[in-house]
Amino acid sequence: MGACRGRFASRTPDGFQAISAGKYDYRGYAVPSKQYSVCGGYPDALARVGQLLSQECEAVDFMDINMGCPIDLVCDKNAGSALLRQPKRMEQIVRATATALGEVPLTFKTRKGFNDGEDVAHTFLHKAGEWGAAAVTLHGRTRQQRYSRLADWDYIAQVGRNCATTGLQLVGNGDVFSYTDWNAHMGESGGHLASLMIGRGALIKPWLFTEIKEQRHWDISAGERLDLYRQFAAAGLEHWGSDSRGVESTRRFLLEWLSFTHRYVPVGLIEVLPQAMNHRPPAYRGRNELESLLGSDDPQDWLRISEMLLGPPPAPISFAPKHKSNSYASPPGGASEADMARG
């Protein structure tokens, strides 16, 4: 079983009042102040986690169970997306954990189904409120897809209609990368979605929430983007310490983040707006040297950026991203969907 403390990656521009009254503002964008995201496959273990959170932690906004993670390490332990093969087990986990949490709201996230062609979420998600869930997030892909092909928003809307009949708040998830994506998915849901969750889009361009709030494509400068990395590095050193071990821990996570952020194409350079999540970014020359550097897909350039913020590493290192969650469209003769799913 794994757990991490974090912040929910998305909310309506006015905040998700049904879940939390506490807020954290990023340039005026409100999100809950504290949530705990966990994964696991056994009701007793997750109920114990819920009990500990409610008794030992202060000001917990809500606890979220990840029942949608597609990676083998998680699914092999009967957690994450593997639970889609056992809806009854999902129910047992939610009921036990919600009871243990008491007044702390419980949410969970999941996918359409485990295998392609075997969508199952619509058969039970509308019942999750009866189990004790305050809200549910649905990713519009199966576990087999991983991140290949586009998310199925028609299916999310269908499940949203089902959930609306029982009063359960459903949050849609998948490929939201611009304010126009947000507007389209919220509008096409017919009012049956409480909000949207943003994952990779926020990793690639964390100012996406500002774009949604202000309803604009933000042509953020390379200097402003570098300032975000500076803030990240400072937070990492504050958390892990400024000794050599703390610096290298910060560098490792910074490099993982850079493996996402290089995919952003500046608004002032892209030919067609908005940039789509499933389109491979074209090679481009930035409006200055820094902008070109930030758009490089070469891990050695990511190391250069880390050195600008953290100094050189104590010994030469090589880096390869741990999580290759791309969903690029496959060109003729290119990688198959199966290859992309494995990535």
Nearest CA among 72, 110, 104 for reference residue 91:
110
Q: If residue 249 lies in a helix (H) or strand (E), which one and from where to where?
A: helix 244-261
**How many helical (H) and strand (E) elements, i.e. helices and strands, does the chain have?**
13, 9
> Please, how many CA atoms are within 13 Å of residue 165, restricted to the half-sphere of its CB?
10
Distance between CA atoms of residues 61 and 104, nearest Å: 7
Active-site residues, by number, are 69
> Please, how many CA atoms are within 13 Å of residue 167, restricted to the half-sphere of its CB?
7
Tokens of residue 79, six digits? 């957690």
Q: If residue 56 lies in a helix (H) or strand (E), which one and from where to where?
A: helix 43-56
Tokens of residue 135, six digits? 């809200």
| 118 φ/ψ angles, rounded to the nearest 5 degrees | -130, 55
